[in-house]
Amino acid sequence: MLPTPGHTPFHQSVVIESDGEIACFLADVCPTAAHIPLPWIMGYDLEPLVTLESKKKLWALARDQEWLLIFEHDLLIPWGRLDIDSKRPRLKDS
State the average pLDDT over residues 32-45.
95
For residues 63 and 82, the answer to whether their CB atoms sit within 8 Å is yes
Does this model's pTM top 0.95? no
Residue 94 pLDDT more than 70? Answer: no
Distance, CA of 82 to CA of 58 (rounded, Å): 11
* CA 94 to chain centroid: 18
Tell me, what's the pLDDT at 17?
A: 98
Residue 22 has pLDDT above 90, yes or no: yes
* Furthest CA-CA distance within the chain: 37
Strands 21-25 and 68-70, by their bridges, are parallel
CA distance 38 to 88: 8
pLDDT single digits (tens) 66-87: 999 999 999 999 999 999 888 8
Mean pLDDT for all residues in the chain = 95
